[in-house]
Amino acid sequence: MDFGLSEEQEILRKSTCNVMEKECPPAFVKETIKDEKGYSPELWRKMAELGWMGFIFPESYGGIDGSFLDFTILLEEMGRACLPSPFFSTVILGGLPILEGGNEEQKDELLPPMINGDLILTLAITEPPGKYTPDGIGSRATKSEKGYILDGTKLFVPNAHIADYIIVVARTKDGVDADGITLFLVDAKARGVTCTPLLTIAGDKQFEVALDKVEVTHERILGDIDKGWHIIEKIWPKVIVAACGEMVGGAQQTLKMTIDYAKEREQFGRPLGCLQAVQHFCADMVADVDGCRYITYQAAWMLSEGLSCVKEVAMAKAWCSDAFKRVTKQGQQVHGAIGFTEEHDLHLYYKSAKKWELLYGDSWFHREAVAEQMGL
Amino acid sequence: MDFGFTKEQESFRQEVRDFLEKKIECGAFEIISNGWLENSSQEFSKEMSERGWIGMTWPKEYGGQERTYMDRAILMEEMLTCQAPIAYHFLADRQVGPAIIHFGNDDHKKEYLPKIINAEISMVLGLSEPNAGSDLVSVKTYAKEEGDFFILNGQKVWTTGAHRADYIWMIVRTDLDAPKHKGISEFILDLKTPGVTVRPIINIAGVHSFNEVFFEDVKVPKENLVGVKNRGFYQLMAQVDYERAGLERLMQNYPVFVNLVEYVKKEKRNGQPLSKDPMVRNTLAELEVEYQIGRLFCYQVAWTLTQGRIPNYEAALCKAYCTQYEQRLSDAATRILGLYGQLMPGSKWAPMNGEAADSYLWSVSYTLQGGSLEVLKNIVATRGLGLPVAKK
Ligand SMILES: Cc1cc2nc3c(=O)[nH]c(=O)nc-3n(C[C@H](O)[C@H](O)[C@H](O)COP(=O)(O)OP(=O)(O)OC[C@H]3O[C@@H](n4cnc5c(N)ncnc54)[C@H](O)[C@@H]3O)c2cc1C
């Protein structure tokens, strides 16, 4: 075992952290969240130049073939900065299914521009039932002359308004099972696609994507007909651990802000941090944050090593969902009223923790997976 | 980063497992919570000693194996999984031995270390006193220098295992005039020395585990002072990080968890196994996640020690977190068992041999012994996070 970062990992962490501190300070985050686009094309370009979009993609597509473990470090720093960007939806929700399920032409066509920062992607999986399981997929794909016609309502689709392609998860066979689900690469500007923004707690851009007789050609089918859920299952552990990576960073930053504040804010003639109630809040936060870190990196390491880790992945998201949220709640308490102001930065994390808790399964959902793994 | 074990570590784990399986097969001990602390068997300790499993991290020149703290953690994890009877050597192995290595002179090392390693002597810790619990610097037991001896008077309390041990490792006052923390020294004392009286205290689980130990004009040879006179408190502070680090703070009631999982799979409610109840599933899965987090904390500390570094706040954090987990476990176990959760060991109808209720009683002590939860949190906040210490 080795709980520390290697020299290269430390360099990666530091350099990513430096970029984020310079390019993505809290003022930028707040401004960008309010902006309709929800991201900065200039920063997006810089991220591409730094090789971030291609971090876990093969060199043959212009990537750098980095490990998923190292990638998690990158995500942690993004989470620490609360970076508003289509990175997660493009690279993880979009790039990974293409890499996993796409044919050679699709990969050659889509991955290099994605890696160069010229393509924004997203995944439309959830629907009104709000579930990440096959029984939550009801959108229909009906066979036509040229390919398929898509109908249905997709919900909580990140960055649909700026995406070039939306990977739509739809049914090619009736039922509630995984069998009969197919993935389609839908041009976001195609006729019949309507994106309506949702107002989210963290201000990230999520959409209702209404599909009304949207035509897709055979070339735009991703993977095998009826077998699309296999692709989702394949990438899902990475989606979850990537989310946890962002949560580790957010939790760490919340802790840091809280400790800094407790040292500097004075009441009764001495710093708040002298007060034992406050000290114990902070000590509890450390257990939460360190726990997030170890359980997440354990799962990321196992994914990197190609080890089976269904339980570890579920444990990571179960813990991070609860712990990050607890940390932000405690942080708010220690900050007092100033933390309740829009002007302060703490709320970015309070909101972000709620967002990440609910996305990709909360602790109830993942504890059920853990229970199953325990043989219950 | 690397969350795996090496081949050598895996095969060491297997070796320990094989040993324990044989022991369990031949009925050498029962798997009962708190066994690591309560179940003392010199015979078992001697068998561990033959395998080099006592003092395994200590330098070879004193008979140790110079193995890593990682290896020791692996050994402990296996021992605690089945609550092997390791109480005879446990405190000497974990704490007193390392203290002697750090602060003892050559004579101390030659005298005690081989005996500890060979499971020939058993040791306990005499730190707490009636008026010195969390505030350890307030110890009043006094050792007065007289010629070649110290004359010891006073009292220790909560001394676990003193009724079956050979030696007591203690802090006592050696300077009445100096500031409190600068007048304390560390001693090792044979419990059979005239003037020492051990009196039992029965705990709320109905067990004689800890004691009062009285000292009345006890003649202690001068060479029994370990380290530097009046520096005992500082020496002790360096030692407690070892005390706080271990898996024994996570796994004291481990059998409860194992048995509970088996129980809910078998037990039916409304024609369905209890394990299908969403509340039960969620509760057990939550405990499992919490347990695995605690395990990572413990291994993180073992890894830090293996690197030759002293854990900073991590040992305190680890113990604070893990003991709270143990408390939640025993509470959840009693609740999942419903009305049966109140039945104690030996009772008719008691599921899991009454371990849930029993462990619920013991669990009160988990957040007290070896530094209370609150004191540990103070350490995390001040030493770990650098929050200011309030002026008195
Ligand atoms: C089962 C068991 C076995 C033990 N075995 C041994 C042993 O073998 N040898 C030995 O020497 N001792 C032993 N102890 C004693 C143990 O170390 C003490 O109980 C512990 O240090 C707390 O001291 P106390 O009980 O006097 O409580 P107190 O110090 O009186 O504390 C009472 C309460 O006040 C809180 N408190 C105290 N100070 C602070 C502070 N500064 N900030 C916040 N809260 C505070 C505590 O957290 C606790 O909640 C054992 C205890 C138990 C329960």
Task: Please say whether the beta carbons of A287 and B298 come within 8 A.
Answer: no
A251 in reach of chain B (CB within 8 A):
no
Q: Which residues of A touch B264 (CB under 8 A)?
A: 376
In chain B, ranges of CATH 1.10.540.10 domains: 7-121
Cβ separation of B381 and A4 shorter than 8 Å? no
Amino acid at B143: A
Q: How many CB atoms are closer than 10 A to CB A5? A: 17
Q: What is the DSSP string of A201-250?
A: TT---EEEEEEEEEEEEGGGEESSTTBHHHHHHHHHHHHHHHHHHHHHHH
B372 lines ligand 1 (CB under 6 A): yes
**Given this structure, which CATH class describes domain A121-228?**
mainly beta
Hey, what CATH class is A7-115 in?
mainly alpha
Does the pLDDT value for residue B241 go beyond 80? no
Mean pLDDT value across chain A: 97
Assess whether pLDDT exceeds 70 at residue B392.
no
Segment B183-210 shows an average pLDDT of: 96
Q: Answer whether 0.80 is exceeded by the pTM.
A: yes
Q: Distance, in angstroms, between B74 CA and closest chain A CA?
A: 12
Q: Which CATH number fits domain B7-121: 1.10.3720.10, 3.40.50.300, 1.10.540.10, 3.60.21.10?
A: 1.10.540.10
Architecture of the structural domain at B240-384 = Up-down Bundle (1.20)
Residues 309-328 of A with CB under 8 A from B: 315, 318-319
Distance from the first to the final alpha carbon of chain A:
29
For ligand 1, whether the C-beta of B91 sits within 6 Å is no
Cβ atoms of B69 and B55 closer than 8 Å: no
pLDDT band at B269 (very low <50, low <70, confident <90, very high): confident
Whether B369 is in the pocket of ligand 1, judged by its Cβ within 6 Å, is yes
pLDDT over threshold 80, residue A121: yes
Q: A140-173, pLDDT tens digit by residue?
A: 999 999 999 999 999 999 999 999 999 999 999 9
Closest CA in chain B for residue A8: B1
Domain ranges of chain A: 7-115, 121-228, 230-373
Chain-centre distance for alpha carbon B317: 16
Please tell me the CATH code under which domain A230-373 is placed: 1.20.140.10
Determine, for residues B292 and A315 on separate chains, whether the beta-carbon distance falls below 8 Å: yes
What's the A290 CA to ligand 1 centre distance in angstroms?
A: 26
Q: Which two tokens stand for residue A172?
A: 């090619």
Round the average pLDDT of chain B to a whole number and report it: 95
Q: What is the pLDDT of residues A43-90, one digit of tens each?
A: 999 999 999 999 999 999 999 999 999 999 999 999 999 999 999 999
- Ligand 1 pocket, B320 CB below 6 A? no
Q: Which residues pair with A223 in a beta bridge?
A: none
The answer to whether the CB atoms of A5 and B1 lie below 8 A apart is yes
The pLDDT score that the predictor gives to residue B243 is 65
Tokens representing A258 are 């809280």
Most ligand 1 atoms within 8 A of CB, residue of B96, B125, B248, B368 to mutate:
B368
- pLDDT class of B311 with cuts at 50, 70, 90: confident
Nearest beta carbon to residue B285 from set A3, A276, A371: A371
Residue closest via CA to ligand 1's atom 9 equals B159
CA dihedral of residues B361, B363, B368, B372 (deg, nearest 10): -140
- Alpha carbon separation from B316 to A139, B186, B374, B376, B381 (Å, rounded): 53, 22, 10, 5, 10
Q: A42 pLDDT exceeds 90?
A: yes
Contacts of A357 (CB under 8 A, 6+ apart): A321, A322, A324, A325, A363
Atom of ligand 1 nearest to the CA of B373: 47
For ligand 1, atom 41: residue with the closest CA: B375
For residue B9, pLDDT over 80 is answered with yes
- The partner residue sitting opposite A376, judged by closest CB among B264, B382, B389, is B264
Complex ipTM > 0.90: no
Residue B118: pLDDT over 70: yes
How far does residue B203's CA lie from ligand 1's centre (Å)?
14
Superfamily per CATH, domain B125-230: Butyryl-CoA Dehydrogenase, subunit A, domain 2 (2.40.110.10)
Q: What is the pLDDT of residues B323-338, one digit of tens each?
A: 999 999 999 999 999 8
